[in-house]
Amino acid sequence: MPLHKDFPKDPYVILDPILRWFPAARKRSNTETSPKVATKGKHKIAIKVVDIFGNDTTRVIEVKI
Protein backbone atom coordinates (compact mmCIF):
# COMPACT_ATOMS: atom_id res chain seq x y z
CA MET A 1 0.00 0.00 0.00
CA PRO A 2 1.51 3.36 -0.96
CA LEU A 3 2.08 6.03 1.66
CA HIS A 4 0.89 9.61 1.52
CA LYS A 5 3.46 11.94 -0.05
CA ASP A 6 3.78 13.89 3.24
CA PHE A 7 4.09 10.79 5.46
CA PRO A 8 6.89 11.44 8.01
CA LYS A 9 10.04 9.34 8.04
CA ASP A 10 10.44 9.62 11.84
CA PRO A 11 8.58 6.70 13.54
CA TYR A 12 7.99 8.77 16.72
CA VAL A 13 6.08 11.65 15.12
CA ILE A 14 2.39 11.96 16.05
CA LEU A 15 0.51 11.46 12.81
CA ASP A 16 -2.20 13.72 11.49
CA PRO A 17 -5.40 11.65 10.93
CA ILE A 18 -5.38 12.63 7.26
CA LEU A 19 -2.03 10.89 6.84
CA ARG A 20 -3.01 7.76 8.80
CA TRP A 21 -5.77 6.54 6.49
CA PHE A 22 -4.70 7.29 2.96
CA PRO A 23 -6.93 5.71 0.31
CA ALA A 24 -4.94 3.99 -2.37
CA ALA A 25 -5.78 2.23 -5.57
CA ARG A 26 -5.87 -1.50 -5.01
CA LYS A 27 -6.74 -4.52 -7.07
CA ARG A 28 -10.09 -6.09 -6.44
CA SER A 29 -10.05 -9.50 -4.85
CA ASN A 30 -11.85 -12.46 -6.36
CA THR A 31 -14.68 -12.11 -3.83
CA GLU A 32 -15.56 -8.57 -4.88
CA THR A 33 -17.66 -7.85 -7.92
CA SER A 34 -18.33 -4.62 -9.69
CA PRO A 35 -21.88 -3.25 -9.56
CA LYS A 36 -24.06 -4.02 -12.54
CA VAL A 37 -27.14 -2.27 -13.87
CA ALA A 38 -30.13 -4.61 -13.92
CA THR A 39 -32.12 -4.73 -17.12
CA LYS A 40 -35.83 -5.42 -17.38
CA GLY A 41 -36.89 -9.02 -17.04
CA LYS A 42 -36.35 -11.87 -14.60
CA HIS A 43 -33.13 -12.11 -12.63
CA LYS A 44 -31.81 -14.50 -10.00
CA ILE A 45 -30.27 -12.98 -6.88
CA ALA A 46 -28.18 -14.91 -4.35
CA ILE A 47 -28.48 -13.75 -0.73
CA LYS A 48 -26.01 -15.04 1.86
CA VAL A 49 -26.47 -14.42 5.59
CA VAL A 50 -23.94 -15.44 8.26
CA ASP A 51 -25.13 -15.18 11.87
CA ILE A 52 -22.97 -14.47 14.92
CA PHE A 53 -22.44 -18.19 15.51
CA GLY A 54 -20.94 -18.71 12.04
CA ASN A 55 -23.96 -20.49 10.55
CA ASP A 56 -24.51 -19.39 6.99
CA THR A 57 -27.61 -19.58 4.87
CA THR A 58 -27.71 -18.95 1.15
CA ARG A 59 -30.92 -18.45 -0.79
CA VAL A 60 -31.39 -17.82 -4.49
CA ILE A 61 -34.55 -15.92 -5.34
CA GLU A 62 -35.94 -14.82 -8.66
CA VAL A 63 -37.05 -11.22 -9.03
CA LYS A 64 -38.87 -9.45 -11.84
CA ILE A 65 -37.91 -5.91 -12.80
Whether 36 maps to a domain, the answer reads: yes
Cα gap 22→2, rounded to integer Å: 8
**What residues form DSSP beta bridges with 50?**
56
Question: Residue 60 sits in which domain range?
Answer: 17-64
Measured CA angle at 37 (ends 33, 43), to 5 deg: 90
Whether 8 maps to a domain, the answer reads: no
pTM: 0.38
Q: What's the rounded mean pLDDT across residues 3-19?
A: 79
Cα gap 22→5, rounded to integer Å: 10
The total of structural domains in the chain comes to 1
Residue 5 has pLDDT above 90, yes or no: no
Whether 9 maps to a domain, the answer reads: no
Band (pLDDT 50/70/90 cuts) for residue 61 is very high
Sort 41 into a burial class: Cβ within 10 Å, 0-12 / 13-18 / 19+: exposed
Task: Read off the pLDDT of residues 13-57 as tens digits, 9 standing for 90 and up.
Answer: 888 776 666 565 556 555 666 677 778 899 899 999 988 888 889
Whether 33 maps to a domain, the answer reads: yes
Higher pLDDT, 59 or 11: 59
Whether 30 maps to a domain, the answer reads: yes
Whether 37 maps to a domain, the answer reads: yes
